[in-house]
Amino acid sequence: MRKQLTDAACRNARPKDKPYKLTDRDGLSLLVKPVSQRNPRGIKLWRFRYKFGGRDKLLSLGRYPDVDLGRARERVTAERKILGAGEDPSAARKEGQRERLGSFDAVAQDFFERGCPYGRNQRLKPVTVARSFQRYNDYLKTSLGNLPIADITVADLSAILDRIVQAGHLETAHRIRALAERIFRLAVVLELTEQNPALTLRGTIPARVTRQYAAITKPEQIGPLLRAIEGYDGQPEVCAALRLAPLVFVRPGELRGALWAEIDWANNEWVIPGERMKMNREHVVPLSKQAVAILKELQPVSGDFDLIFPGLRSRERPISDNTINSALRRLGYSKDQMTGHGFRSMASTRLHEMRKGDKPMFDSAVIETQLAHVDSNAIRAIYNRFDSRKYITARRKMMQYWSDYLDRLKSEKSTVVELKTG
C-alpha cells in the first residue's frame, strides 16, 4: 500500500534547489518550490492530477498551510465527484468563476478585497489600497466595469490611457496602466481570461517626468529657514511638526501620523512600526536633546490624545498631507524652494558632505539607514536581514551632531556658515 502524507511531513518539507513533490492518495500531491526573490521562504502548493478525455490534467487546490492536509483531501473528494458525474473539474471551476466574477468590475472588487495582491508589494498599506481604489473608480470603472473581462481588448484600455496622457497627466497614466495590469493578472490566475492587455501596453506611455522635491541644502540658506520656522505663528501642533521635521528628517506621512505610544522616553527613541513605513519595516529614530524638548513642550497640548500632531477639526485624525508645505508657503518659501519632503534631502546632502579632514564624518551606510533607505540590490537585500537597530550607536551620535549643527546655523548671523571639524 502506498504511503500517505502526514501533517508533520507537510509541515517539515523544506525547499530545495529544484521543485519536488510529496504524493498522497487519489492524485493529490504537495509541490514544494525553491526559494526565490518573491518567495524567500519557498512555497508549498497543493495539486490534483487526474485524467479526463484520455488526457492528463492538473488542478490547483491552494497553498499550504492556508489549506491543510485535511482540507486538501476534502477538495480532492469534491473534485472526484465532479469527475464521476462525467464532467471536467477544471472546466467546471472556470464556469463557476465566470458566473461569479465575469465582469471587469467584479474582478476589480475581488482584487481590492484581497488587498491589491499580484504586484511587487504584496502587503500594501490601507491608505495605498484606498488611493488605488479611488483611481479605479475615477478612470477604469465607468468605461470597463460592466464589460466581461475576457472580452476587453488592448484597444479598450489604450483609449483610456490616451485620454489621460492627452490631458497631460503622465504620472496618472502610468499608475492606471500598472493598476489595470494587476487586476488582469488576478483574472489570469483565476482563469477568467488568457490575456493581460495592460501588460501588452507596458512601455507605450511617454516617460514620466522625474519629480524632485525642492529642498534647501546650502548652509547659508538653512540658517534663515530655521529662524523663519522658529518665528512661525500657527497651530501649536503645526509649529512643533515644523520644528521637528528637520531634526528627524522622516517622510512627511511618517511625521504627521506619529503616535505618543511610539515614543520611548527611557531611551529617547521614536520607534515607528513597519505598517507606517514605506517599506513595511520598523524604523528607529534616535531623538536628540532638541527633538525631545520639542515633544515635551507639545505634551500638554496633545498628550491626552493618541496622535502627537492631531488635526484641528478632529483630534482623531492627523494634520493633513499638505500642512507642512502650507506652513512653508506662509513663511515665504515657494514650492520650488522648499517642501516638507525636502528636509530629508537637506539632511542627506549635508551629512554626506560633512568631512573631518579628508575623510567623511559619517559613513554613508549609517546615513542611508537613518533615512530608512533599503538596499537597491533586491537579491542582496534578501540575505542581508533587516535590523531596525543597525548602526544605532553611530546613528544616535549622528542625530545629536546634526541637531547641534542646525542650532549653529540657526544662531549664526553671517551669510556663509561652514561646519567646523576637529
Question: What is d(CA 377, CA 248) in angstroms, rounded to the nearest whole number?
Answer: 26
Nearest to 291 by CA among 249, 235, 233, 340: 249
> Nearest 5 degrees, angle CA 120-CA 123-CA 126?
120
Among 33, 278, 281, 408, which one carries the catalytic annotation?
278
Residues in the chain: 422
Nearest to 10 by CA among 91, 96, 69: 69
Among 380, 383, 385, 420, which one carries the catalytic annotation?
383
- Facing residues of 51 across strands? 56
Among 75, 276, 344, 395, which one carries the catalytic annotation?
344
Among 44, 75, 341, 396, which one carries the catalytic annotation?
341
Residue 373 annotated to the active site: yes
Residue 344 annotated to the active site: yes
Distances (CA, A) of 138 to 115, 144, 184, 211: 19, 11, 18, 23
Residue 213 annotated to the active site: no
Residue 383 annotated to the active site: yes
Residue 41 annotated to the active site: no
Question: What is d(CA 289, CA 115) in angstroms, rounded to the nearest whole number?
Answer: 40
Among 47, 315, 373, 397, which one carries the catalytic annotation?
373
Place of cell 529617547: 268
Place of cell 472526484: 80
Among 75, 174, 243, 251, which one carries the catalytic annotation?
251
* Secondary structure class of 415 (helix, strand, coil): coil
Residue 120 annotated to the active site: no
For 123, the grid coordinates are: 502587503
Do the Cβ atoms of 389 and 267 come closer than 8 Å?
no
Question: What is d(CA 131, CA 402) in angstroms, rounded to the nearest whole number?
Answer: 35
Question: What is d(CA 212, CA 195) in angstroms, rounded to the nearest whole number?
Answer: 36
Q: In what order do the strands lie in the sheet with 269-272?
A: 263-264, 269-272, 283-286
Do the Cβ atoms of 76 and 26 come closer than 8 Å?
yes
- Give catalytic residues, as residue numbers: 251, 278, 341, 344, 373, 383
